[in-house]
Chains A and B, each alone.
Chain A
Amino acid sequence: MAENNCMCQEAGVLIFPCSGGSDVGELSDRVARKMAKCGQAKMFCLAGIGAHLPGMIESAKAANKLIAIDGCQVLCSKKILEHAGFSPISFNLKDLGFEKGKTKVNEENIDTAASKISGGKVEKTTIHNSGGCCGN
């Protein structure tokens, strides 16, 4: 029945990676997807916010918290969200030890970054599972 597809659940935490073209941009995306997969946040479309699509903006307003993950100090995700009137919690992967142009996008770095952003909730379970807090 229709209610099986209901989108009325609480919005919770939405996560917006910059998903930029560099290695750290890619890492931001992979980290966000990992956190989403682990149920710590929901991925959301930064492009939709940048395009000021009313449906996207209004949906983001329903969230309890917005997290921006940027790969570098340009902070595109944070600035796009701020431009749309939001005040996200901002993480810059550079501040977490990932240098633009010198970062490998691999499971180890994804787990490390996700752990730092989520306060350790990912790292502890991924170390022995080689790939995911969900065991994937």
Chain B
Amino acid sequence: MKIEILGVGCPKCKQLTANAEAAVNELNIQAEISKVTDIDKITEYGVMMTPALAVDSTVVSAGKVLSKEEIKKLISK
């Protein structure tokens, strides 16, 4: 599973990254978490509000700092 955090690196993006890492750890699954900070790449995803979360290249959330529990639900589907 590939999880991408889309955002230019503000505190909200960092918090979302931390929550995603915590979710992956708790679920004990194999996932590669990466940050996408390049604005052009973020807009290529159609994202206009950050932070955003993409799972396997599909945006599942934008403009929100999802909690660890919310991320767990999204990546468990």
Contacts and interface: CB of A to CB of B under 8 A. Distances in A.
A62 B9 contact: no
A56 B10 contact: no
13 contacts: A2-B9, A3-B9, A7-B47, A7-B50, A45-B48, A54-B46, A56-B48, A58-B47, A58-B49, A58-B62, A59-B46, A61-B63, A62-B63
B-side interface mostly? loop
A59 B9 CA distance: 18
B60 interface: yes
Interface string A51-64: 00111101101110
Interface of B: 7-10, 12-13, 37, 39, 42, 45-52, 58-64
Interface of A: 2-3, 5-8, 11, 44-45, 48, 53-56, 58-59, 61-63
Contacts of B59: 54-55, 58
Contact of A59 (B8, B10, B47, B58): B47
Nearest to B13: A8
A56 B39 CA distance: 15
Nearest to A44: B48
B34 to A, nearest CB: 16
Given A2-B8, A58-B52, A11 B63 contact: yes
Contact of A3 (B10, B52, B62, B64): B10
B46 A53 contact: yes
